[in-house]
Structure 1
Amino acid sequence: MTIDDNALGFGSGARAVWASDPNNSRGRLYPEERSRTRSEFQRDRDRIVHSTAFRRLKHKTQVFVAHEGDHFRTRLTHTIEVAQIARALARALRIDEDLAEGIALVHDFGHTPFGHTGEDALDELLEDHGGFDHNAQSLRIVTQLERRYARFDGLNLTWESLEGLVKHNGPLVDKSGAGTNGPVPQPILDYCALQDLQISTFASLEAQAAAIADDIAYNTHDIDDGLRSGLLRLEMLDDVPFLRELVRDVSERYPGLEETRMIHEIMRRQITLMVEDVIAVAQANLARMKPQSADDIRSADLAFIQFSPEFKAIDRSIKSFLYANLYRHSDVMRVRQQAATIVRDLFQAYVDQPALMGGHWTEGMRAFSQGQICRRVADYLSGMTDNYAVKQHRALFDHTPDLR
């Protein structure tokens, strides 16, 4: 599949009819006067960047915990890389770059300390109280937990940003109301009772761009970090034919190239090929279905922005390779087990003695049910950085794993 160069939006400034229009936003839960200098989606992006949740991403694990090396990705650097790819896709498809960037920047707000390890531990601990889902937690953060504005809790983002945050991976329920990937997390249902995010439809193209940018970013950069760590080796990339061809191409073009440059050349080619494939598929889908509005995108029966069948297979093979050789590597699993211990210990300590959380976190808790206490503790604990979680564990327990 090839890209239609004439349809690309580079520098044109013209928004396509299928793009989300900030001038016609469905608004905010709490109405506000519009800015004279920024669009509604620019304001959303700026609020996201200035939030405390965004700053905390700096010290949250992507794959490797912070002390393992300064050059490994954190949630923050991963998020910035996702936003860059999302914005590139948005510009090529003539959709709203600010909305795509904002959704990319907010998509990981709900991640716990220690990455998916912390999420898995909290989900298990909250099994009797609705479980824990980082996407639903992101929604809680931007609608309730951020405490910055005088008139409301949260960031009061536009409907389009919240929809993109909740549905960027596709509809949460089918036409019959059944969950497409298990039960819909209760925090999402609770918010939809206040402002319907239409969870049975697809999200905007901007949200779809952010979602696939996330896949492209971590497929590429987790390989990069794995090679930097020594847990992966260049010869291991031969297990994935797509990566093997990239290695061969770089080796033939630059014989004897030092490994650091070799890795970068492979990664940049991987990103370019994946992005170009996505643009070509999206262009073909748009040309075939001819949507005339952003709502036509939502009501479609498929995601417009996706990989071609060839690259879907490549995406699956890369994910399988990473799970087998990096995410489940014995060194990574050892650290994950230690990190899970920290999360479980802290959770139980705060449930037993909520006063340990201090500040506004203890407000009104005397009237809380057990489920409400557990949810409040999860809100507090999930907001921690890796460093702060370790510090708090050391303050409360005699022995803290060193995560090595």
Structure 2
Amino acid sequence: MENLFFENPLSPAQLRQRREPRPDEDRDLRGPYFRDTTAVLHSSPFRRMKHKTQVFFAPKNDHICTRIEHVMHVSTIAATICRALNLDSDLAWAIGMGHDLGHTPFGHLGETILAKLRGVEGFRHEMYSLHVVDHLTNHGKGLNLTHAVRDGIVNHCGEKFEQAMEPDFSIKDLNAIVDRSEYPCTWEGTVVRMSDKIAYLGRDLEDALRLGVVDHTQVPASPARVLGSSNSEIIDTLVTDVIHTSNATGKIALSDPVYEAFLEMKEFNYRHIYRSKVLEDLHPGFERVLTTLYEYLSDLFASHGFDSEGYTAEANNLARGFSRYAATMADYYHTEPDPRANVVFDFIAGMSDDYALDSLNEIMVPQSYTVGFSKR
């Protein structure tokens, strides 16, 4: 039987509207939202997420979650909930795949460092993810995603822990959103917002246990009795509870006992994992890495701008890569009031952790010192 709770009052035409019309839309067998998924999947920012921090930086362990795995977890959880609630799982999948494209190297700490370097009060990866899909792909033309997917991306906020949520069902100027106070315009976007939290609660705990950041004796027993003690048990409990509670309340929601356990486990994660000394000890090093790269590229761009030839004298891959980026994106940045304020920031924000570290090593330890010397 169809669930009347979760109808979207906005029309398909409103939700599927793109910034630029696609004449072949009606002939595409994928449908508009699965087409958006493939656009995200084939984009460079998506591929770079496999080397971006989720919580634990560059672990020498293949089983520790990276940013690309996190977005896959969110997408599958959201699609599962949407199937159970008779919602559009293709739309949820597309939002989930694109929701974290704006993450910087070194996770949330990278956001803080880059905001400081840029001289702005805050950096919100949700807003920046929209900027990435709208402008920082396809040589500045963007991915031309549907409104519903773009809306879900910019309003996915995974740092608020609401017990119940519902869409605002409004067509907003998405580029005018500057904080996390807005909610998605669709039920599917709201499901992704809940799924983001579900995806990282148990997985971050599992990774911390695997790496020895915490041990099983520290995990609070009370929420574990409700949610389970493994990532798979926690996900199963939360997803099942969201489905049953949402069907009962008409909102995307958790029941009282599960929500209370959810909050208690979340507080444990924040106290013992995200704010742990293990992670905090890495902060000064990350700041030195990003500050050095930012200052180096800012000086180069001040000297050479979009002139590719000016970068060749640096004789390193970072300068060459930045030069190519600036050249391919020149048409877009020339429409910006102050290209200098954006081009370096955007280039570094898009880096993977590995590329940032390799670039630092390259400019701090010139190649002539590492190769070319014969043995005695």
Q: Deviations over 1:231-251 (max 9, x none)?
A: 1111111x251115666xxxx
Q: Deviations over 1:137-161 (max 9, x none)?
A: 111111111016xxx7010001111
Distance 1:306 1:331 in 2: 34
Q: CA deviation at 1:86?
A: 0.5
Distance 2:50 2:87 in 1: 29
Q: Name 2:374's counterpart in structure 1.
A: none
1:18 to 3, 8, 33: 8
Change (3 A) 1:313 1:339: same
Change (3 A) 1:190 1:281: closer
Unaligned stretches of 5+ in structure 1?
1-5, 9-13, 171-187, 194-198, 248-262, 287-303, 400-404
Q: Is the 8 A contact 1:119 1:134 kept in 2?
A: yes
- Give, as a single letter, the amino acid of the residue that structure 2 aligns with 1:306: A
Q: Is the 8 A contact 1:125 1:131 kept in 2?
A: no
- Give, as a single letter, the amino acid of the residue that structure 2 aligns with 1:28: R
TM-score by length of 1: 0.73
- Give, as a single letter, the amino acid of the residue that structure 1 aligns with 2:130: L
- Give, as a single letter, the amino acid of the residue that structure 1 aligns with 2:46: F
Alignment of 1:368-387 (within 5 A): 372-387=339-354
Q: Name 2:234's counterpart in structure 1.
A: 270
Unaligned stretches of 5+ in structure 2?
159-171, 305-318, 367-376
1:210 to 182, 192, 201: 192
Q: CA deviation at 1:190?
A: 7.9
Distance 1:93 1:201 in 2: 19
Alignment of 1:59-70 (within 5 A): 59-70=51-62
Change (3 A) 1:270 1:82: same
Q: Is the 8 A contact 2:14 2:147 kept in 1?
A: no
Distance 1:190 1:227 in 2: 39
Q: Deviations over 1:88-146 (max 9, x none)?
A: 01101110001101101111100011111111111222234x64321111111111110
Q: Name 1:318's counterpart in structure 2.
A: 265
Q: Name 1:241's counterpart in structure 2.
A: 222
Distance 1:352 1:133 in 2: 26
Q: Is the 8 A contact 2:5 2:247 kept in 1?
A: no
Q: Name 1:112's counterpart in structure 2.
A: 104
Alignment of 1:148-167 (within 5 A): 153-167=141-155
Q: Name 1:191's counterpart in structure 2.
A: 175
Is structure 2 residue 205 aligned with structure 1 residue 223? Answer: yes
Q: Is the 8 A contact 2:95 2:192 kept in 1?
A: yes
SS at structure 2 position matched to 1:342? helix
Alignment of 1:84-95 (within 5 A): 84-95=76-87
SS at structure 2 position matched to 1:95? coil
- Give, as a single letter, the amino acid of the residue that structure 1 aligns with 2:324: G
SS at structure 2 position matched to 1:124? helix
Q: Name 1:291's counterpart in structure 2.
A: none
SS at structure 2 position matched to 1:79? helix
Q: Deviations over 1:159-198 (max 9, x none)?
A: 111111112349xxxxxxxxxxxxxxxxx978359xxxxx
Q: Name 1:306's counterpart in structure 2.
A: 253
Q: Deviations over 1:349-378 (max 9, x none)?
A: 212222532114153799899964232211
Distance 2:284 2:225 in 1: 32
Moved more, 379-388 or 325-334: 325-334
- Give, as a single letter, the amino acid of the residue that structure 1 aligns with 2:264: S
Q: Deviations over 1:64-83 (max 9, x none)?
A: 12243211000011111111
Q: Root-mean-square deviation (CA), in Å?
A: 3.2
- The count of corresponding residues between Structure 1 and Structure 2 is 329
2:134 to 132, 143, 148: 143
Q: Name 1:46's counterpart in structure 2.
A: 38
1:32 to 10, 22, 26: 22
SS at structure 2 position matched to 1:282? helix
Q: Is the 8 A contact 1:143 1:154 kept in 2?
A: yes
- Give, as a single letter, the amino acid of the residue that structure 2 aligns with 1:318: M
Q: CA deviation at 1:7?
A: 6.8
Q: Is the 8 A contact 2:298 2:344 kept in 1?
A: yes
Q: Is the 8 A contact 1:168 1:203 kept in 2?
A: no
Distance 1:36 1:370 in 2: 37
TM-score by length of 2: 0.78
Distance 1:83 1:21 in 2: 24
Is structure 2 residue 68 aligned with structure 1 residue 76? Answer: yes
Alignment of 1:320-335 (within 5 A): 320-335=267-282
Change (3 A) 1:158 1:346: same
Distance 1:317 1:70 in 2: 29
Moved more, 327-336 or 366-375: 366-375
